[in-house]
Amino acid sequence: MAIVGNRLGDIGYAIQQHAESGGFSVVREMVGHGLGKDLHEPPEVPNYGRRGKGILLKKGLVICIEPMINLGTKNIKQDKDGWTIRTMDEKPSAHFEFSIAVNHNKPDVLSTFDFIDEILKT
């Protein structure tokens, strides 16, 4: 969905539909972000949304898509350490981050996990 002419909501919608169709939930309070001169820049990139809504995606926009997908509830709480985030029901969750550059026809995925695959092969 991260292609020229789509909208930010198209990305969030795709993430949400994929997760929820598998019986999982998507945290709403934690979102991805733009990447540029600073690590965290606008726009915010929600992992849920409505198709056709949000900013128009233009070639060269670089974003981080960061869904937090849960076995249980989408509702979260923060531990007293000020860092750890858990779901309210404390069921397992997974958090991924992919850096992507918007392009024509297909996005350029900038993140790689090839090194993890290499380690797991040994």
Mean pLDDT calculated for residue range 102-110:
95
pLDDT score of 6 more than 90: yes
The encoded tokens of residue 106 equal 């297909």
User: pTM here?
Assistant: 0.87
Note the pLDDT tens digit of each residue in 38-96.
989 999 999 999 999 999 999 999 999 999 999 999 999 999 999 999 999 999 999 88
Per-domain residue ranges for the chain? 8-121
The encoded tokens of residue 33 equal 């972000």
Residue 30's pLDDT is 92
CATH 3.10.690.10 corresponds to the domain 8-121: no
Cα-based distances in Å from 90 to 15, 70, 76? 22, 9, 9
User: For residue 7, which of 72, 67, 53 has the smallest C-alpha distance?
Assistant: 53
pLDDT score of 112 more than 90: no
